[in-house]
């Protein structure tokens, strides 16, 4: 078990991809904005040039504006209708600077949120031991119950829908807010109400320090090994190698590597696992301000290469996309599932002082073939959607209220209308990343292009009549699929020659 001091020491010297809702690559640096040690995967240029590039004229202008800001904060402190301390005002100034970037992954944390961020990154935290996501209906669903944790012992199951916490309805709360409500000091209690099979169940759970496992594995039929990589934790690469060797020893002749719902972890772990498949060539490139400034090269494969199918879905993000992109570009694995999340930016983490960390986006990462996946994701070689399971009826009710394709128009970039809104509703339900704007904005055009690519249509981002018809057909099939079979895993077994 790690104490807070140990935790902070570790994050100063590792390079990680974060697993919270931000789905981020992160460099952790020592206070304040400096770097005493570098990881082998970090970019020398990025870490050394943090304070360069400011001209004397810009420095003079910055100094003038900072003095102006100081006067402004003093003015607020002296004249605001209520008491306000300088700590609150300065924190607000830091937060405002981050907000001005319009980047959800550049964040100024409170002390408590920063500590939670670090603990989740490392894989140890105080809470009940669940992993959650928001489904297409903006409902918080538990996607993983950590084995041996307090929630697992209480009887909470994967697929449970979170309805209330300590009697407070959370239907309007964000994923981060719900996560914060479930976290807390070891020994404290929380009352969790979930919906399962249409009925509510309430559990009284005592919080503990929870350690997340990285890997589950088993032997499937027809000598197919199966490894579920839940997160890229500190020992993930070592655990992967051990699991693979155990499976080979048990007779495995091929492999299914499951990255579904894996939203990140340590970047060096993702690179190390990629090295187990790639004998030569690049694993990932880093791009900043339009230029690639760092490329990570494979250091040669060390283990036996099995024929591999990689499973992904819309919640596979960040480090998962690094690994999936590398294996796909090098043709060493077949990708099955749905388009991945599309988190292709990296963050640096540092401290403004000893207590308050922040993350700042510093570069984009690209696949070995230099494909930028940010807000795009990785397209599987075989697109397969699983059934919505017990959420199918709820999704069907949503579907009944969707707008129709009612206009005789073929919207393109910049257009608006009912057809656009109808497409956005259906594509969002299918797992594509966009918002309900009724405008053919960049995200919508990109989603349409991805859908057209997936369906073998002409890829040009215009919502033509053929595309609208296919969107309608695919969404209807998705809603009406009541199969209890894991169709994605079934496809993987089929591709590997199994029954």
Could you confirm whether 415 is annotated as catalytic?
A: no
* 442: phi then psi, degrees, rounded to nearest 5: -60, -45
Distance of alpha carbon 349 from alpha carbon 106, whole angstroms: 9
Report how far residue 328's alpha carbon sits from residue 326's, in angstroms, rounded to the nearest whole number: 5
> Nearest Cα to 422, choosing from 411, 351, 413?
411
Structure tokens at 120: 């989740």
3-state secondary structure of 194: strand
Cβ-contact 409, 415 below 8 angstroms? yes
Dihedral of the alpha carbons of 29, 31, 32, 34, in degrees to the nearest 10: -40
β-strands 208-211, 124-127 pairing:
antiparallel
- Residue of 24, 106, 318, 361 with catalytic role: 318
Note whether 395 and 479 are within 8 A (CB).
Answer: yes
- Which helix (H) or strand (E) segment holds residue 16: the answer is strand 15-17
Q: Which of 167, 171, 169, 176 is nearest to 132 (CA)?
A: 176
Which residue shows structure tokens 């956005």?
424
Q: Cis ω on the peptide bond leading into residue 420 (within 30° of 0)?
A: no
The SS3 of residue 178 is: helix
Q: What is the largest CA-CA distance in the chain?
A: 76
Question: How far apart, in whole angstroms, are the C-alpha atoms of residue 63 and residue 465?
Answer: 57
Active site residue 320: no
Contacts 24+ apart (CB under 8 A), 172-176: 173/140, 175/21, 175/132, 175/133, 175/134, 175/140, 176/20, 176/21
DSSP letter (8 states) at residue 196: E
Q: Active-site residue among 106, 179, 329, 361?
A: 329
Q: Confirm whether 343 is a catalytic residue.
A: yes
User: Nearest-5° angle of CA 437, CA 378, CA 222?
Assistant: 130
Q: Is 268 left (phi over 0), alpha (psi -120 to 50) or beta?
A: alpha
343, 361, 433, 491: the active-site residue: 343
Burial zone of 198 (CB within 10 Å; 0-12 exposed, 13-18 middle, 19+ buried): exposed
Q: Looking at residue 431, what DSSP letter applies?
A: T
Query: Under the phi-then-psi rule, with left for phi > 0, alpha for psi from -120 to 50, and beta for the rest, what region is 349?
Result: beta
Distance CA 499, CA 495 (A): 9
Q: Which residues are part of the catalytic machinery?
A: 318, 329, 343
């Amino acid at each position: 078990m790690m104490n807070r001091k140990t935790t902070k020491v570790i994050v100063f010297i590792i390079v990680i991809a974060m697993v919270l809702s931000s789905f981020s690559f992160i460099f952790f640096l020592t206070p304040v904005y400096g770097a005493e040690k570098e990881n082998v995967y970090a970019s020398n240029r990025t870490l050394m040039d943090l304070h360069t590039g400011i001209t004397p004229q810009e420095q003079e202008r910055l100094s003038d504006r900072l003095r102006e800001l100081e006067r402004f904060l003093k003015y607020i402190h002296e004249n605001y209708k209520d008491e306000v301390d300088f700590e609150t005002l300065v924190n607000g100034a830091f937060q405002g600077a981050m907000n001005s970037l319009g980047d959800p992954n550049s964040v100024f944390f409170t002390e408590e949120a920063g500590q939670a961020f670090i603990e989740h990154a490392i894989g140890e935290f105080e809470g009940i031991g669940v992993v959650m996501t928001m489904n297409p209906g903006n409902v918080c669903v538990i996607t993983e119950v950590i084995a041996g944790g307090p929630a697992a012992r209480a009887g909470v199951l994967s697929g449970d829908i979170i309805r209330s916490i300590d009697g407070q309805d959370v239907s309007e709360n964000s994923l981060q807010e719900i996560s914060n409500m479930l976290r807390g000091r070891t020994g404290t209690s929380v009352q969790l109400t979930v919906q399962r099979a249409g009925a509510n169940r309430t559990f009284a759970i005592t919080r503990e320090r929870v350690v997340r496992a990285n890997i589950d594995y088993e032997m499937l039929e027809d000598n197919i090994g199966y490894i579920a990589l839940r997160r890229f934790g500190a020992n993930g690469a070592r655990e992967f190698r051990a699991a693979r060797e155990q499976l080979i020893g048990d007779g495995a002749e091929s492999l299914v590597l499951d990255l579904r719902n894996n939203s990140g972890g340590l970047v060096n772990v993702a690179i190390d696992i990629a090295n187990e498949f790639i004998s030569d060539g690049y694993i990932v490139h880093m791009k900043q301000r339009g230029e690639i400034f760092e490329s990570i090269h494979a250091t040669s494969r060390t283990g036996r290469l099995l024929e591999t199918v990689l499973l992904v879905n819309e919640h596979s993000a960040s480090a998962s996309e690094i690994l999936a992109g590398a294996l796909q570009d090098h043709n060493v694995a077949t990708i099955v599932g749905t388009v991945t999340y599309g988190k292709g930016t990296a963050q640096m983490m540092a401290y403004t002082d000893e207590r308050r960390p922040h993350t700042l986006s510093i570069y984009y990462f690209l696949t070995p073939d230099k494909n930028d996946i940010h807000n795009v994701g990785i397209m599987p070689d075989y697109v397969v959607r699983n059934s919505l399971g017990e959420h199918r009826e709820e999704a069907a009710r949503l579907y009944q209220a969707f707008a129709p394709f009612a206009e005789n128009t073929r919207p393109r970039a910049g257009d608006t209308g009912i057809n656009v809104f109808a497409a956005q509703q259906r594509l969002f339900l299918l797992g594509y990343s966009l918002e309900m704007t009724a405008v053919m904005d960049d995200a919508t055009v990109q989603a349409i292009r991805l859908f057209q690519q997936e369906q073998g249509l002409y890829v040009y981002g215009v919502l033509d009549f053929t595309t609208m018809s296919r969107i309608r057909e695919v969404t209807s099939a998705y809603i009406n699929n009541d199969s209890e079979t894991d169709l994605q895993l079934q496809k993987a077994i089929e591709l590997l020659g199994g029954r």
